[in-house]
Structure 1
Amino acid sequence: MKNDLDRYKYIFDEILTMTDDGFIVVDKEGIVTDINDQYCDFLGTSKEKAIGRSIKEIISNTKMIDIVKNAYREEGAIHKFADGETKESDNSFLLVSRSCVFNEKQEVIAGVAQVKFRLQTLDCAQKLMREYSELEFYKEEYNRITTNQYSFDGMIGSSKNFLDIKKTGMRAAKNLFPVLLTGETGTGKEVFARAIHNGSDRKNKPMVSINCGAIPSELLESELFGYEEGSFTGAKKGGKKGKFIQADGGTIFLDEIGDMPLDMQVKLLRVLQEKEVEKIGGTTPTSVDIRVIAATRRNLNEMVKEGRFREDLYYRLNVINIEMIPLRERKEDILIFANYFLNKINIEYRTSVTLSNEVKKCFQDYSWPGNIRELDNVIKSAYASCDEFIIQLTDLPAKMASSHKVNSFSGSDEKMLKNMVDSYECSIVKEVLRKCNWNCQLAANELGIHRSLLYKKMDKFGIKIKKSI
C-alpha cells in the first residue's frame, strides 16, 4: 500500500511540475499540503514557507475553506488577490477552478484549486485570435474573389441587349422569386445565377449547384433530398444531407432542369410547395428555406405542350424568366471576351501574345454555335499552336479558318482562286500536324502523302515544327 502511495505521489509531483497552471492542495482544515513551483512563484513564496500553514495566511480572501466545509466545486471563477499577496502588484487576478475531494465513503478529505495565470491564458488567447484572424482573412479574401468573379459588376459585355438582361438580373437579385434562365449552351447561365445569388441578401449563405442532366435518374432523388443511414444497399454510414438541405438559407441552382425525369418533377414540386424535404428512408420532413434558380437549354414551353414537363412546375419555376443571349447576337462583345481570355493566359504564362487583324475579323464573322465556352476553348487552342507572339488564322481550327477564307474571297480571278486553295491547304496541313502532335511522319500518313512532300508544303506555307507544350 505504501509503495502505491509513493508511486502516485511521484506521478502527482511530475504532473504539477509539467503543467503551466498553478495548483494548491489543502486538507479539510484548510492547511496547505501541496503547492507547485509555478503557484509559489506567482505568490512570491516557496513550498517550504507555504506547506503546513493555513491557506488564509497566504491568500487572505481564499474560498478553499468554504469549498471543503460545504463540499462543492466551482469552475472558471475570477479571483482578485488582496494587495501585496502576489509577486507583481499589477498581476493581481486570475482564473481559478476549485473543488473538494471525496474518499470512497463520500467524505471530504481535501480541497484542490487550479489557477490559470492571466498572462499565459492571454498568450493562448492571442495565439488563437491570430490564427482565427488569419482564417477570417483567407475566408474574406475567398469571398471577395468569388464575389468579384461572379458579380454583375465583374461581368463582361457592353452590347445593348446584354445590358438589358443584366438589369433584369440585378432586379432579380433584390427579391427571392424563382428565376428561370433559358438559352443555348455556353451562354453563361451558371455565371448569371451566381451573380444573382451574390447580389442578394443570401450572398453569405451557400449556393449549391446540381446538374439534373448529368446524374442518373435513379440517383437524382438521393442527391437532391438525401437519405438516412441504412435506407438502401450502399447507403453510407450516417446518411447524406442532400443538396436542398445543404442550401438551407441560401440558393439552389438546378441546372438543365429540362432533363429532369417526370417522376422527380412531381417530388420537386412538392418540396417547392411545402418548403420541406423528406430524406429517402426518413420519417420526419426537414424544413428548408431556399431560393431556387433553374436553367435549361431546352424549350420548356414546348415540352409542357408535349407532356414531357409538368405545367405546374413550369409556372412555379418561371416567375422571372431571363433569356440568355447567344454570342452571335452580341457581336460587340466577341473581341472583348477574346482579349479577356487571352489576357488571362498571358498573365499566367508571362507572355504577350496578341490576335492578328485577320483573326479578329474571323471571330466577328463566325457564328459561334458553342457561344462563350467555345470562344474560350478556341483561344486556348490557338495560344498553344501559335509559333510567334501573334495568333494567325492558321492557328485557328480548320473549320473556322477555311470558312473565313471562303467568305473573304470573291470573283473568279485565277490568282484569287489559287490563294483560296493555298490558304485552305495550309490550314488543313497545320490542323493535321497539330492533331499528330507535330510528328511529321504521322501527319504525312494522315494526309496520304510522302513525308518529303509534306516538308515541301510546310516550307511553302512557312509552317515551322512546333514542340508540344
Structure 2
Amino acid sequence: MENDLARYKYIFDEILTMTDDGFIVVDKGGIVTDINDQYCDFLGTTKEKAIGRNIKETISNSKMIDIVQNAYREEGVIHKFVDGETKESDNSFLLVSRSCVFDENKNVIAGVAQVKFRLQTLDSAQKLMKEYSELEFYKEEYKKINSNQYSFEGVIGSSSNFLEIKKSAMKASKNSFPVLLTGETGTGKEVFARAIHNNSDRKDKPMVSINCGAIPSELLESELFGYEEGTFTGARKGGKKGKFLQADGGTILLDEIGDMPLSMQVKLLRVLQEKEVEKIGGSKPIPIDVRVIAATRRDLVEMIKNGEFREDLYYRLNVINIEMIPLRDRREDILTFANYFLNKINIEYRTAVTLSNEAKQCFENYFWPGNVRELDNVIKSAYASCDEFVIQLTDLPSKMVSNHKVISLAGSDEKMLKHMVDSYESSLIQEILKKCNWNCQKAAEELGIHRSLLYKKIDKYNIKTRR
C-alpha cells in the first residue's frame, strides 16, 4: 500500500510539473497540502510559504474552504484576485475549476482547484470579464435611469394642486392598499403607478402591467390568471403563469380597468377577495400576495349607474383614489414639460434647439386636450420641422396657432373678425409653404388657389419665403 501511495505521489507531482495549468490542494480544514510551481509563480510566492498554511493567507477570497465544507464542485468560473495578491497587477482574472474530493465512504477528505494559464485562455477570460463588467455597468445605469424616471423625485411638476396629489401618492406608497388612479388620457397615471411601486417595500419585486382594454375579452382571463399545459389547442408547453402570478410579492397595474368586460370583473373580484388565483384548467387555487393599482380614464360611478361596472369591484379597487389633474389645470407646469421634452431630444441629437417667445406663449394658451402625451408629441413634431434651431409658431400645429392668434387678438383693441381671419390665414399659408418645402406652386395647389393669388397674399402678410 505504501509503495502504491508513493508511486501515485510521484505521478501526481510529475503531472503538476508538466501541466500548463495551476493546481492547489487543501485538506478539509483549508490548509494547503500541495501547490505546483506554476501557481506559485503566478501568485508571487513559493511552496515553502504556501504549504502548511491556510489558503486564505495566500488567496484571501478563495472559495476552497466553502467547497470542502459544503461538498460541491464548480467548473469554468471566473475568479478575480484581490489587488496585490498576484505577481502582475494586470493579471488578476483566471478561469477556475474547483471540487471537493471524496474517499470510498463518501467523506470529504480534500479540495482541489485548477486554474487556466494558457495565454489564449487567460485572454479570453479577461475579455469575458471586461464584457461582464460592462454589462453590469449598463445594467446599473439602466436601473438608475429607470428608477429615476419612475420615482417621485423624477416626477415633473411644481404647481400647488399637483404637489398635493404627489403627496397623496407618496403616502399611498407606504402601505399595500389598492389604489385607483383616475383622470384623462395622458395625465401620467402609469408614471404615478410605477412611482408608487418603486417607493414602496415591494420595489425589489416585480411590477407587472396589463391594459385591460387592449386584449380581446376571450384572452384576458388567460393573460391575467394563466393556464395549465394542454388546456386548449395551441396552449404553450408547460402552461402559462399569468400576470397575477408574475407579480406575486410585487404590484400589478390594471390599466384601463373601465374597459374590462363584466364577466371578467366577477372573476377579478373573487381574486381580490380570496387573494388567490386559479389557472384555466387548474385543479387548485394558488395563494398570491399582490398589490393592485387600477387606472382608468372613464367615469366608473356613471358606469355603475348604467350597469357597465360592478359596484362591489369598484369599492374593492377604490380604497385610495388619486384623481390626476389635466395639464390645462396646472398651466405653470406647461413650459416645464415643454423644456424637459425638448432637452431630452437635444441631448439625444446633440443640438441646442429652443422655443421662441411666441411659441412659449402659444403653449401656455393652448387647451391641451391630450395633456402631457400631446405636449410630448407636439415638441417632437416641432423639433423635426424647425429651422435655425428655434421653434417658431410656423412649426406648431395650425389648431394651436389659430387658437393662440384668437386669444391674442381678443386681448387687444383689434377685435374685428377681419383681423382674426387674416391672422389665421397668414399662419395657415406659412404652415402649408413649409410643408411644401417653400414651393409656391405646390402650396397654391394644396390651398386650392392660383399661384398669383398666393403671391399676393404672401406680400400682403409680409411672409418671408425662400423664393
The two structures have a TM-score, normalised by structure 2, of 0.74
Does 2:183 correspond to 1:209?
no
> In 1, are the aligned partners of 2:35 and 2:47 still within 8 Å (CA)?
no
1:17-416 correspondence to structure 2 within 5 Å: 31-32=7-8, 35=12, 37-40=14-17, 80-81=32-33, 88-92=47-51, 97-98=100-101, 115-117=112-114, 135-410=135-410
Displacement, 1:402?
A: 0.9
Displacement, 1:218?
A: 1.0
Of 228-237 and 258-267, more deviation after overlay is shown by 228-237
Quick one: distance in 1 between partners of 2:426 and 2:170? 47
What is the DSSP-based 3-state SS (H/G/I as helix, E as strand, rest coil) of the residue aligned with 1:213? Answer: coil
Quick one: distance in 2 between partners of 1:144 and 1:286? 34
Displacement, 1:301?
A: 1.2
Kindly tell me: are residues 218 and 431 of structure 1, through their superposed partners in 2, closer, same or farther at Cα, counting changes over 3 Å?
farther
1:405-444 correspondence to structure 2 within 5 Å: 405-410=405-410, 419-433=419-433, 441-444=441-444
Kindly tell me: are residues 450 and 285 of structure 1, through their superposed partners in 2, closer, same or farther at Cα, counting changes over 3 Å?
same
Gaps in structure 1 of 5+ consecutive residues: 1-25, 43-60, 64-75, 102-112
Displacement, 1:351?
A: 2.2
Displacement, 1:130?
A: 7.2
Quick one: distance in 2 between partners of 1:183 and 1:465? 45
Quick one: distance in 1 between partners of 2:168 and 2:258? 22
Displacement, 1:360?
A: 1.9
For residues 127-148 of structure 1, give each alpha carbon's deviation from its aligned partner in whole angstroms, at most 9, with x where no partner exists.
9887766554433322221111
Kindly tell me: are residues 97 and 437 of structure 1, through their superposed partners in 2, closer, same or farther at Cα, counting changes over 3 Å?
same
Kindly tell me: are residues 83 and 444 of structure 1, through their superposed partners in 2, closer, same or farther at Cα, counting changes over 3 Å?
closer
Quick one: distance in 2 between partners of 1:217 and 1:426? 49
What is the DSSP-based 3-state SS (H/G/I as helix, E as strand, rest coil) of the residue aligned with 1:180? Answer: strand
Match of 2:92 in 1: none
Q: Which has the larger radius of gyration?
A: 1
Quick one: distance in 2 between partners of 1:83 and 1:185? 69
Of 305-314 and 406-415, more deviation after overlay is shown by 406-415
Quick one: distance in 2 between partners of 1:181 and 1:131? 42
> In 2, are the aligned partners of 1:77 and 1:97 still within 8 Å (CA)?
no
Give % identity: 70
Quick one: distance in 1 between partners of 2:15 and 2:126? 21
Kindly tell me: are residues 88 and 206 of structure 1, through their superposed partners in 2, closer, same or farther at Cα, counting changes over 3 Å?
same
> In 1, are the aligned partners of 2:187 and 2:325 still within 8 Å (CA)?
yes
What is the DSSP-based 3-state SS (H/G/I as helix, E as strand, rest coil) of the residue aligned with 1:339? Answer: helix
For residues 353-403 of structure 1, give each alpha carbon's deviation from its aligned partner in whole angstroms, at most 9, with x where no partner exists.
222222222222221111111111111112222223322222211111111
Quick one: distance in 2 between partners of 1:426 and 1:452? 16
> In 2, are the aligned partners of 1:83 and 1:89 still within 8 Å (CA)?
no
Kindly tell me: are residues 119 and 322 of structure 1, through their superposed partners in 2, closer, same or farther at Cα, counting changes over 3 Å?
same
Of 445-454 and 277-286, more deviation after overlay is shown by 445-454
Aligned length, in residue pairs: 401
For residues 287-340 of structure 1, give each alpha carbon's deviation from its aligned partner in whole angstroms, at most 9, with x where no partner exists.
221111000011111111221111111111000000000111111111111111
> In 1, are the aligned partners of 2:26 and 2:112 still within 8 Å (CA)?
no
Residue type matched to 2:311 in 1? E
> In 1, are the aligned partners of 2:100 and 2:111 still within 8 Å (CA)?
yes
Kindly tell me: are residues 36 and 241 of structure 1, through their superposed partners in 2, closer, same or farther at Cα, counting changes over 3 Å?
farther
What is the DSSP-based 3-state SS (H/G/I as helix, E as strand, rest coil) of the residue aligned with 1:81? Answer: strand
> In 2, are the aligned partners of 1:257 and 1:294 still within 8 Å (CA)?
yes
What is the DSSP-based 3-state SS (H/G/I as helix, E as strand, rest coil) of the residue aligned with 1:241? Answer: coil
> In 2, are the aligned partners of 1:387 and 1:464 still within 8 Å (CA)?
no
The two structures have a TM-score, normalised by structure 1, of 0.74
Kindly tell me: are residues 131 and 382 of structure 1, through their superposed partners in 2, closer, same or farther at Cα, counting changes over 3 Å?
closer
Residue type matched to 1:167 in 2? K
What is the DSSP-based 3-state SS (H/G/I as helix, E as strand, rest coil) of the residue aligned with 1:154? Answer: coil
Kindly tell me: are residues 387 and 363 of structure 1, through their superposed partners in 2, closer, same or farther at Cα, counting changes over 3 Å?
same
Displacement, 1:216?
A: 1.0
What is the DSSP-based 3-state SS (H/G/I as helix, E as strand, rest coil) of the residue aligned with 2:145? Answer: helix
Displacement, 1:150?
A: 1.0
Gaps in structure 2 of 5+ consecutive residues: 20-24, 41-45, 56-63, 65-97, 105-109
What is the DSSP-based 3-state SS (H/G/I as helix, E as strand, rest coil) of the residue aligned with 1:141? Answer: helix
Match of 2:89 in 1: none
Match of 1:445 in 2: 445
